[in-house]
Structure 1
């Protein structure tokens, strides 16, 4: 399929959006865009530049200057800041704890939203994030809102970090960090985390990755048949 539809997958931190989105994209031969990684790259660039999270204007200007790139990779997509691979660098606790502040900067969101819309313009795209169905791609024919309990999301993050050899906090501390992230994401003034009225809510707490991918794939197939 050379051209398909836009698929928007939203949800809170560690709901499994990126993992599922990549697999769905592969199944339909669609492009995958990890919007969360884009905000993480901006956060990393800001920290490397010695900026503090309250320097919104400087961070927004930096977001316009840097080049964010993606390349296929196994087991995960490779992410680049200019010509520097930062796939692992953007998945640290320091980035986790600062990315919400960067993502809440209106000018940063405007720049990232513009880039994301350009990527999705031709369809055949699976895009995941916090505000894809509500702000970035409000007309996407398929919108999924993935949720899971904070405890389950913390457990997943804990296991993932251990498997990747990333230094990690205790399960209890991770849960507290995720709950704080939820609070920040859902209460920010610009594009808060919220379910689009026409999105399908999918609770993944007790579902395997394959079960989630299958459920979303069925929704896509039915939508394609109706279009």
Structure 2
């Protein structure tokens, strides 16, 4: 199901898990950390977005879990992980640039709550991290995907700060969205992610929790590197 990639660490390395809600800076921090360590960067959210993209393309609704489940055996999903970005090929087509639109983002949150989708993607994620040397970010990395990860982080931030970051990101990408709508969408996604029955968004008991509200990404990475070094 996946397209394997190699890292530059040259040996069996660590699995580092980064979890948290939208807007806390997971993607930025995970990419920077992977670069510093010479590790692969695994964006698990891109996998769920890819399934959401296919659901939308098929004209299905998230209220049709059986129809969505039926799509999965007919799906070929390849993920090429690099130190800065994960490229996603769905049924032979590179859809990486189409995965972060507001519509796909909203649908991904609903599709990811379908247990069959999470079960189908679980081995895909684990296979990528099987050899270590990976920084994986998502919402259930430290609790379900890699519960035995060597180091776990859970990022948090003030809701207003997170909404501002997300809105800025969307505008920079050329999307015309209002801040209030962005905040409502984010809050709704948080509620769905935290309340779903399978792999809810919660910190792992052994995760280092970091509030990124007033921390630049570089400072967060430096803190993470200090934690990683202390635990080795």
TM-score with structure 1 length normalisation?
A: 0.92
For the pair 1:48 / 2:57, whether they are aligned, the reply is yes
Q: Structure 1: which 5+ residue stretches go unaligned?
A: none
> In 1, distance between residues paired with 2:104 and 2:220?
27
Shift of 1:75: 7.5
| Greater mean alpha carbon deviation, residues 64-73 or residues 1-10 | 64-73
Q: What is the CA-CA distance between 1:168 and the residue it aligns to?
A: 3.4
Pairing of 1:114-193 with structure 2 (within 5 A): 114-165=123-174, 167-193=175-201
Q: What does residue range 1-227 of structure 1 map to in structure 2 within 5 Å?
A: 1-2=9-10, 3-71=12-80, 76-165=85-174, 167-224=175-232
TM-superposed deviation, 1:19: 1.4
- Which digits, 9 at most, give the CA deviation of each residue in 1:159-212, with x for residues without a partner? 1122222x1321122111111111110001111000111001000010101111
Shift of 1:127: 0.6
Number of residue equivalences: 223
Find the aligned partners of 1:41 and 1:50 in 2 and give their Cα distance: 14
SS of residue matched to 1:117:
helix
Which stretches of structure 1, 4 residues or longer, exceed 6 Å deviation after superposition?
72-75
- Alpha-carbon offset, residue 71 of structure 1: 4.1
Q: Distance in 1 between matches of 2:193 and 2:167?
A: 21
Tell me the distance in 2 between the aligned counterparts of 1:217 and 1:25.
Answer: 11
- Partners of 2:44 and 2:125 within 8 A in 1: yes
Q: C-alpha separation between the residues in 2 aligned to 1:196 and 1:71?
A: 27
Q: CA deviation at 1:111?
A: 1.2
DSSP 3-state at the match of 2:96: coil
Aligned partners of 2:76, 2:31: CA distance in 1, in Å? Answer: 22
1:215/1:65 Cα in 2 relative to 1: closer, same or farther (>3 Å)?
Answer: farther
Could you state the TM-score of these two structures normalised by the residue count of structure 2?
Answer: 0.90
| 1:4-29 CA distance string (max 9 Å, x none) | 11101000012111111111111111
